Chains A and B, each alone.
Chain A
Amino acid sequence: MHIGFRKLLLLLAVTTLCLFCLSLMLPSNILSTNGAAPFLLLELLNDDTDIAQTILIELRIPRATLALFVGASLGLAGAAMQGLLRNPLAEPGVVGVSGSAALGATLAFYTGLATIAPLALPLGGIAGALAAVIVLFSMAGKRAGTTTLLLAGIAINAIAGALTALVLNLSPNPFAAMEIIFWQMGSLADRSLLHLQLAGPLMAAGWILILLAAPATRALSLGEVTAASLGTNVRTTQRQIIVGTALCVGAGVAVTGVIGFVGLVVPHLLRKLCANDPAKLLLASAGGGATLLLAADIAVRCIPVGTELKLGVITALLGAPFFLYLIFQLRTLEQ
């Protein structure tokens, strides 16, 4: 299949828009409407619009917009990290950036800090993500292979996961310990406009930083020395990507929990369509991530289960087999 980059972007934009509108029209769970699925558009046109308006503005817009923002963030961050670490398996969830972000966010939330200063929640997530990216980058900078990167990811994920569980267990609130599933599997259910206000601008700032560095990533993909000889400021570009990724992933995870594999699947599906251009891939991956997460969130709401199905379940079911496939491919390449 060969389509131009502009057509690809247009296609992604249209799909995202359609899925966004579909997400606004769907109830939080198709089972919960008890047979008669009320159609929100009709309700909004009816006389009794107060309730429909509240549902649209307070529940569905935050949910759909967060799916869009977090999906775009994860897709973009995946593509950016793969460029930065020069490894096709670098993905925020796999290498532990999302896990560390969850640790930072749980620390800010369960200690009560975020109750006093709500901004502490996304900032905690960002701090956690930043720490993980810096550790990974300092390792990959010394020409680490795929194995080292993945093993480092396992270690970071294990530490972050254990500490998150510890924070939840140390909380005097008896409900806290059971909320580990939210932080490890992610969810967009019952998020509010407040969460969007807290995390949205920070995620957008991350996108801007990464996209500003996009042109320089072309030169950087040829290696640091070549890039420097071409007049690229290597350090600045790398810093922009590191901070940008931390902002995107940290702020997103702080309000939705860890949603894995989006940053792995999306860049891989789009790489060929972008003619292997790292700068184009960044932009396309943002669109692809948004599409994937909106679709996953719609799937979660349409699968008839009694209790809430976590978003990370869907993305892992899609992404983990894909991850295995990529490892097999890399193995045959290495041999």
Chain B
Amino acid sequence: MGISIFSRLGLCIIVAVLAPIASYGTAAGTTEKLRIASFNLCTDTLLLQYADPQQVASITWLSSDENLSPIATYAQQFHRNQGRAEDILRLSVDLVLTGPSTSTATRAMLRHMHVPTLHLDDATSINALSINIRRLTQAIGQSARGKESLLQMHEKLTEITNTADKTPKDQWPYAAFLQPNGLTVGYGSLSNELLNLAGFRNSATLLGLRTYQRFPLESLLRAQPDLLIAPTDQPKYPALAQELLQHPALSGTMLRHQIDPSTLICATSRIADVAMTLATKRQQLVR
């Protein structure tokens, strides 16, 4: 859902440049299926969703972590990389998918090795996600699959819009996202768009908080959103980041909605289901 903290976090290097897309796709005409490697958790997720298993040459190690990836079990069988060019030297790869976490050095190395790359930035809106899916499926020669999946996603989203009650926006209930380290999401994020779609106002935007900004616990308590969307399960190996979400001050009056953290990290066509769940929550709240 565009809250891909991990795509920044996991590899720790933020790249702001949009790489030119290597001229690609012409080879798709051949009957031989392309072999693709992915250097980013979110491109991993999309690749595994749309490519045939034999097309997947390598994905990042992050994808086999069930706390991060919704398809961790399926991901176990593939070759793992650490997002570095040398990791795929020995594999015969026709295309490398890179994301915001891929370092400039890695991308320069890939160019130097004459490996075609496709760069996808984190989707910050439903529209951007659709474009990402379209570009990726086209590049890997699975356009039909991409179209089918986008069609289904948009059908679900339209259904949510149609069934939403028509009360004016200033009467909508409030919701807020709280993620590890107390980070929240605001304007210009996919999560915010989904909240609005499901008929919620975002408490964070009301306070002028931006995406990836901390929602101070005191401000959150004062804002009292009707729904707090936060992962509540403590992971097997703890960190202070998740301990914060267990703070006793939050256990009081707010209605909490547990969301599997792995569905929040990367935007996929599954966002339609997340929006659906939120819309159902809203119906329960308003009733």
Contacts and interface: CB of A to CB of B under 8 A. Distances in A.
B136 interface: no
Given A190-B247, A307-B214, A173 B234 contact: no
B109 to A, nearest CB: 24
Given A33-B219, A307-B214, A54 B237 contact: no
A277 interface: no
Contacts of B253: 50
Contact of B65 (A28, A172, A179): A172
Contacts of B62: 174
Contacts of A58: 247-249
A175 B247 contact: no
Interface in B210-253: 214, 216-219, 221-222, 224, 234-242, 244, 247-249, 252-253
Interface in B176-228: 180-182, 207-208, 214, 216-219, 221-222, 224
B34 to A, nearest CB: 30
Interface in B82-122: none
A322 interface: no
Given A110-B238, A175-B241, A176-B239, A192 B247 contact: yes
A223 interface: no
Contacts of B208: 34
A79 B208 CA distance: 47
Contact of A28 (B67, B216, B234, B244): B216
Contacts of A182: 240
A186 interface: no
Interface in A99-145: 109-112, 114-115
B181 A54 contact: no
A29 B216 contact: yes
A55 B250 CA distance: 10
B10 interface: yes
Contacts of A114: 238
Interface in A187-211: 190, 192-194
A308 B65 CA distance: 30
Range of interface residues on B (Cβ < 8 Å): 35 or more
Contacts of A307: 214
Interface in A180-239: 182, 190, 192-194
Given A115-B238, A175-B9, A55 B218 contact: yes
A175 B218 contact: no
B172 interface: no
A153 interface: no
A55 B238 contact: no
Contact of B68 (A51, A109, A174): A174
A114 B246 CA distance: 14
Contacts of A304: none
B255 to A, nearest CB: 15
A178 interface: yes
Nearest to B11: A174
B242 A51 contact: no
A27 interface: yes
A178 B249 contact: no
Contacts of A109: 238, 240
Given A32-B216, A173-B235, A179 B240 contact: yes
B78 interface: no
Contacts of A171: 237, 239
A307 B209 CA distance: 12
A84 B234 CA distance: 42
A-B CB proximity, top 3 nearest: A58-B249, A175-B241, A175-B239
Interface of A: 27-29, 32-34, 38, 50-51, 54-55, 58-59, 109-112, 114-115, 171-176, 178-179, 182, 190, 192-194, 307-308
20 contacts: A27-B218, A32-B216, A32-B219, A34-B207, A51-B222, A59-B249, A109-B240, A110-B237, A112-B237, A115-B238, A171-B239, A173-B67, A174-B65, A175-B180, A175-B181, A175-B239, A178-B9, A192-B247, A192-B248, A194-B248
Given A34-B207, A192-B248, 20 more contacts: A28-B216, A34-B208, A34-B219, A50-B252, A54-B249, A58-B248, A111-B237, A112-B237, A112-B238, A171-B239, A173-B67, A173-B238, A173-B239, A173-B241, A175-B241, A179-B240, A182-B240, A190-B217, A190-B247, A193-B248
